[in-house]
Each structure stands twice: as structure tokens, then as C-alpha cells.
């Protein structure tokens, strides 16, 4: 495991209250084939909604995906299935997969039923998982297409149950199918359980999400990953900008990340509140202690990194430059917070408040594109497209879908920031098939993607036999015409079209960073 820390500024102004953004990257080791072969047995407990509305197609898709999932697990892995409508049924008692044919036959025999007692199904699934889980813990995957309309329906209460289960070694992931599910409840379960939450409007995406859970389960490199921040007395407080549970302990602020997959990097954004006072010179703000259990041995490890800064007179600190990656990531995460607030406003039938949140976030992200590092350009472009689509949906009155899409992106971009899945899994951050308003052409249907076309168009304008001054009105006219199209960034288009440097010959605007 590796932990890397960087601050937005290399200097803190003396005698001035400062907010110091800090970026933390946590990278898991790559598992080799030998480690994968010797992994401890996993426990996967599925909690499946079989209420009447699931009978129109989603239930059959889920059953097929679960049977494929069973085939991919080892005979010594534990698998269990609880199905629920207004009643709860233990379809497959949690235990080793010694008879996969019988398990798949039990899955095939599921039929749709009545209403949706989600809490009863989830709690029974937790009981089954705990019954067989060993040191390696367990994962509960809840799949539902409806609102919980009986039993416990309070997201806060169920989120607390998921959090308690996490501290007993059980992770919870949740998938909402269609447009009728309670996005706040499922997000609370995934957040408390430190798992993934998915939104699948179509059956294909539901199958991909379920398959991706096994991909993650089989590639875990570390479990019980946590980060403890010990602050020095000169730090007044700290904000974790990502949407992750935080616990204040006698030793400091504890952030629990759950499991990390082989080779993945998770990114956290902290903001330290440093009041005026420290004299000029080096100062220690605190330290970060990373703890984890290595797989497959479950050996416990810790690593510590110091948080240091340099205090300088205000006149000197005024000349400091911001780290572009930290500054951009902070804007990106603030946008996730805005979408969370917008989703709550839509739930409360306050679309105007939601629109104000989304527009402010869009404007902030747009402003950040000018100074964003190359490696974050795609993230910002996607975020702008998503915010634009959410604004359009909200204005059209489609509040439910807009709220669900907003919360889905928050889960991806905030709780699991940095996590990457294979394309087409339904969890890939660059898979647009389920994003609101997404209509990006793909190379399979078009000989040239929009991104490639805009790059070539900018290059064509740049190479016109004209001075930059004469090219400017041409670039402005094209930018005005294309602004708002997928993958198009007007400011970067203008910058390249008016550049005096050729593409790939020392210019900052390489093909992959233009748009």
C-alpha cells in the first residue's frame, strides 16, 4: 500500500485564518496470480427484491446474472440468497458452493410476489452473512426496483444498520433498477456499508453491475482500510469533502474506506482549518496513519505520513501558486456535494433550489477547466455534461430521474473517487450508457468520435494561412456554434485554434488534452 499527500499551497500566510486543502492518494498493491489463487474464501450474500413489479423483466435478468455469478465463485466460497416481497424467504442458505447446480436451480425457481419489505429482507441477509463469514468478512448485495413500502423505511436507520454491519466485517452494496426505487435509501445503505451503489434504468446495466461486484470481490487486495488523521493543536478542525463516514475518536478523526481492489487508487480531499497564529517557519499540522489488512494473509499493517507546511509573511504567501490538481479536485468534489443537495431539494419538491445548486456547480466546474491539469480534463468534461443534463431534466419536470442520476454520480465520484472498473461493467466512470441525457456517439457507430472531430477542427483553423488575429473571429464563430455539444470545450478549442505552436511540438494542447 502506498499513501501520497499533496497540499494546494506550499505556503501558509502568517496572521491569517487559512483553509488548507490536502489531497490524499491511497494506492493498493497489485495482486499476482499466486496471490489470487491463495485468496481466502469469500462470502457473498444477495438480497433480491422479488415484488410484483420485478416480474416485468428485471427479476429474470437478475436471476440470469446471479447464476453467472455462482459459476465464477469457487466451491469453497460462501454464497447465500434471500428474496423478499412482503415476506422474506431464505432461498439459498449461506454456505459453501459445493453444489452449484442446486443453487442455480433454486435461483431459477424464484417467482414475483407482492409488496416491498426491503428492511426485513436486508436484515435477514445480514444475519445469513454473519452466520458464515469468517476473518475475510462478507459482502451483501441488495437489488431492488421499488420503494420500501412496509417495514423500516427510514434511510438514516437503515444506513446505521449498514454501518454497524461494516464494523462487524460486512460490506453492503445496493443496486436500484428502473425509476421507481428509493435512491436516498439505497445510497444510505451503500454509504453506511462502504460499498457501491448503482442505478440501472435498463436490464443490461443491472446485469453488468451484478457482475462487477464479483470482479471487485475477486480482486480485493486489502480489507478494513482506514485513515486516521491526528491534528496538531494549531489546527482548529478538518472537513472531509468526500462523502464517507467519519468518526471522531480520542486519537483523531477516523475515515473508513472498506476494501481496496488490486492496483486501485482512492483519492480523498481534506480541508484543514488553520487559524491565525503560527510564526514564520516550518510547522507541523498533523499526521495521517493508514491501516489495512493485507490479502490473502490478513496481516495487519500501518503506514504514517506527516502533514507539514511553511508559514510565511503575507507578502511572501501572496506569491504562492496553487497546485492545479488539488484545486481542481476540490471543485470537483464540491460539485458532488451540490448534486447531493439538489437531490434532497428535488425530493422535497423544490426544483428552483435544485436548479440553483446545479447551476452554481456547473459554473464552478466550467471556470476550473482553464487551469485543470491534463489528466483531469476528461473528468471535468464529463461533469459538465452530467450537470447540464441534470439541469435540463430538472427544468423539464423529471424530478425523480434527475435525483436518482445525481445521487448515482455522487456515489461514484465521491465515496469511490479514483476507483476504476473495466469498461462495460456498469460501474465504469466513463460508461455513459446510463447517464442522464447521455447521447455520446461511440466508435462502433461512427468513424470519428466528437472529441476527435473537434480536435481536428481546431487544428484545421490553427493551420489556416492567417494571423492569429485574423483566425480569432473564425474560432469564435465555431465555438459559439458548437458550445454545449458533447465532448466540446469552447475555451480549449479557442486556445488551440489560435495557438502559434503545432500539435505535438511542445504545445500544452496535445490531442488528448484539448477537449
pLDDT tens, 343-360?
Answer: 889 888 899 999 999 999
471 and 458 within one domain: yes
Residues 13 and 63 in one domain: no
Q: Do 271 and 169 share a structural domain?
A: no
428 and 448 share one domain: no
CB atoms within 10 A of CB 100: 14
DSSP codes, 183-223: HHHHHHHHHHTEEEEEEESSHHHHHHHHHHHHHHHHTEEEE
> Looking at residues 265-280, what average pLDDT do you find?
90
Name the least confident of 112-126, 211-225, 314-328, 470-484. 470-484
Question: Pick from 203, 218, 233: which residue ends a domain?
Answer: 218
**What percent of the chain has a predicted confidence (pLDDT) above 70?**
82
340 or 514: whose pLDDT is higher?
340
Residues 77 and 210 in one domain: yes
Cα separation of 349 and 377, whole Å? Answer: 34
Task: Report how far residue 325's alpha carbon sits from residue 416's, in angstroms, rounded to the nearest whole number.
Answer: 18
> What is the CATH classification number for the domain harbouring 22?
2.60.40.3670
pLDDT reading at 331 higher than 60: yes
User: In the numeric block, which cell numbers belong to residue 56?
Assistant: 416485468
Residues 52 and 62 in one domain: yes
Clarify whether residues 25 and 11 are in a common domain: yes
Mean pLDDT over 134-140 rounds to 85
The single-letter DSSP state of residue 278 is: P
Please count the other Cβ atoms lying within 10 Å of the Cβ belonging to residue 168: 12
Q: If you average pLDDT over residues 128-140, what whole number do you get?
A: 89
- 332 vs 243 pLDDT, higher one: 332
pLDDT of residue 296: 75
Could you say which of 400, 418, 435 is where a domain stops? 435
3-state helix, strand, coil in the chain (%, to 5): 40, 25, 35
DSSP 311-334: EE-HHHHTT----HHHHHHHHHHH
Q: pTM of the entire structure?
A: 0.70
CA-to-CA dists, residue 259 to 59, 192, 226, 252, angstroms: 29, 14, 9, 21
- Judge whether residue 444 has pLDDT over 80: no
Q: Which three cell numbers stand for residue 403?
A: 435525483
Same domain, 24 and 50: no
Note the Cα 480 to chain centre separation in Å: 33
376 and 311 within one domain: no
Between 56 and 41, whose confidence is greater? 41
User: Which three three-digit cell numbers place residue 362?
Assistant: 456547473
Query: Where on the phi/psi map is residue 7: left (φ > 0), alpha (ψ -120 to 50), or beta?
Result: beta
Phi, psi of 231 (to 5 degrees): -100, 140
* 319: number of Cβ within 10 Å: 8
**Residue range 449-460, pLDDT digits in tens:** 444 466 667 777
Say yes or no: 336 and 450 in one domain.
no
* Containing structural domain, residue 458: 440-515
- Cell digits of residue 450: 466528437
Q: Please name the residue that has the C-alpha cell 465521491.
A: 414
Taking residues 107-115, report their average pLDDT.
88
How many domains, in total, are found in the chain? 4
pLDDT at res. 466 = 74
Q: Could you tell me if 85 and 49 are in contact, meaning their C-beta atoms sit under 8 angstroms apart?
A: yes
Quick check: 411 pLDDT over 90? no
Chain centroid, CA 185 distance in Å: 17
> Residue 372: which CATH number?
1.20.120
In this structure, the answer to whether residues 367 and 474 fall within a common structural domain is: no
- Band (pLDDT 50/70/90 cuts) for residue 23 is very high
What are the cell numbers at 83? 428474496
- Could you tell me which residues are beta bridge partners of residue 142? 47, 174
Greatest distance between any 2 Cα atoms in the chain: 75
Using 50, 70 and 90 to split pLDDT, how confident is the model at 172? Answer: very high
> How far is residue 36 from each of residues 237, 296, 297, 425, measured CA to CA in Å?
41, 8, 11, 21
Domain boundary among 435, 467, 496: 435
Asked whether residue 41 carries a pLDDT value surpassing 60, the answer given is yes
Q: What is the 3-state secondary structure (H, E, C) of 7-72?
A: ECCCCEECCCCEEEEEEEEEECCCCCHHHHHCCCCCEEEEEEECCHHHHHCHHHHHHHHHHHHHHH
- Residues 480, 383 share a domain: no
Amino acid at each position: 500500500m502506498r499513501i501520497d499527500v499533496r497540499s494546494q499551497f506550499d505556503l501558509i500566510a502568517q496572521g491569517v485564518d487559512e483553509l488548507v486543502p490536502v489531497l490524499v492518494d491511497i494506492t493498493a498493491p497489485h495482486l499476482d496470480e499466486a496471490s489470487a489463487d491463495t485468496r481466502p474464501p469469500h462470502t457473498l450474500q444477495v438480497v433480491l427484491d422479488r415484488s410484483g413489479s420485478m416480474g416485468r423483466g428485471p427479476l429474470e435478468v437478475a436471476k440470469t446474472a446471479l447464476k453467472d455469478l455462482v459459476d465464477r465463485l469457487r466451491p469453497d466460497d460462501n454464497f447465500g440468497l434471500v428474496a423478499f416481497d412482503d415476506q422474506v424467504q431464505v432461498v439459498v442458505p449461506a454456505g459453501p458452493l459445493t453444489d452449484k447446480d442446486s443453487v442455480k436451480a433454486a435461483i431459477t425457481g424464484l417467482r414475483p410476489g407482492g409488496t416491498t419489505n426491503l428492511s426485513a429482507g436486508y436484515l435477514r441477509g445480514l444475519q445469513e452473512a454473519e452466520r458464515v463469514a469468517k476473518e475475510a468478512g462478507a459482502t451483501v448485495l441488495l437489488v431492488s426496483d421499488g420503494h420500501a413500502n412496509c417495514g423500516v423505511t427510514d434511510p438514516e436507520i437503515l444506513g446505521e444498520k449498514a454501518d454497524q454491519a461494516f464494523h462487524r466485517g460486512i460490506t453492503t452494496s445496493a443496486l436500484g433498477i428502473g425509476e421507481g426505487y428509493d435512491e436516498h435509501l439505497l445510497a444510505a445503505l451503500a454509504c453506511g456499508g462502504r460499498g457501491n451503489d448503482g442505478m440501472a434504468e435498463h436490464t443490461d446495466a443491472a446485469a453488468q453491475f451484478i457482475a462487477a461486484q464479483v470482479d471487485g470481490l475477486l480482486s480485493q487486495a486489502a480489507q478494513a482500510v482506514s485513515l486516521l488523521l491526528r491534528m496538531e493543536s494549531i489546527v482548529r478542525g478538518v472537513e472531509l469533502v468526500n462523502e464517507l463516514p467519519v468518526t471522531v475518536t480520542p486519537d483523531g478523526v477516523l475515515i473508513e474506506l472498506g476494501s481496496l481492489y488490486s492496483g486501485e487508487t482512492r483519492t480523498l480531499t481534506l480541508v484543514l482549518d488553520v487559524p491565525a497564529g503560527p510564526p514564520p517557519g516550518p510547522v507541523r499540522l498533523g499526521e495521517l496513519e493508514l491501516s489495512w489488512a493485507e490479502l490473502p494473509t490478513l496481516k495487519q499493517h500501518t503506514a504514517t505520513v506527516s502533514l507539514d507546511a511553511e508559514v510565511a509573511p503575507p507578502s511572501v504567501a501572496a506569491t504562492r501558486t496553487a497546485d492545479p490538481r488539488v484545486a481542481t479536485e476540490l471543485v470537483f468534489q464540491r460539485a458532488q456535494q451540490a448534486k447531493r443537495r439538489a437531490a434532497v431539494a428535488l425530493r422535497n419538491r423544490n426544483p428552483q433550489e435544485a436548479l440553483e445548486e446545479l447551476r452554481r456547480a456547473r459554473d464552478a466546474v466550467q471556470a476550473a477547466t482553464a487551469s485543470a491539469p491534463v489528466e483531469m480534463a476528461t473528468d471535468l468534461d464529463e461533469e459538465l455534461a452530467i450537470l447540464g443534463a441534470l439541469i435540463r431534466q430538472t427544468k423539464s419536470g423529471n424530478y425523480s430521474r434527475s435525483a436518482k442520476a445525481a445521487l448515482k454520480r455522487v456515489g461514484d465520484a465521491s465515496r469511490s473517487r479514483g476507483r476504476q472498473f473495466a469498461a462495460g461493467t456498469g460501474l465504469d466512470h466513463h460508461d455513459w450508457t446510463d447517464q442522464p441525457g447521455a447521447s455520446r456517439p461511440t466508435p462502433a457507430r461512427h468513424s470519428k468520435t466528437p472529441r476527435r472531430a473537434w480536435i481536428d477542427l481546431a487544428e484545421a483553423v490553427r493551420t489556416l494561412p492567417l494571423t492569429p488575429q485574423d483566425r480569432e473571429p473564425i474560432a469564435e464563430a465555431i465555438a459559439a456554434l458548437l458550445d454545449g455539444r458533447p465532448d466540446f470545450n469552447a475555451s480549449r478549442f479557442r486556445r488551440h485554434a489560435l495557438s502559434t505552436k503545432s500539435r505535438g511540438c511542445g504545445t500544452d494542447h496535445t490531442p488528448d488534452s484539448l477537449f
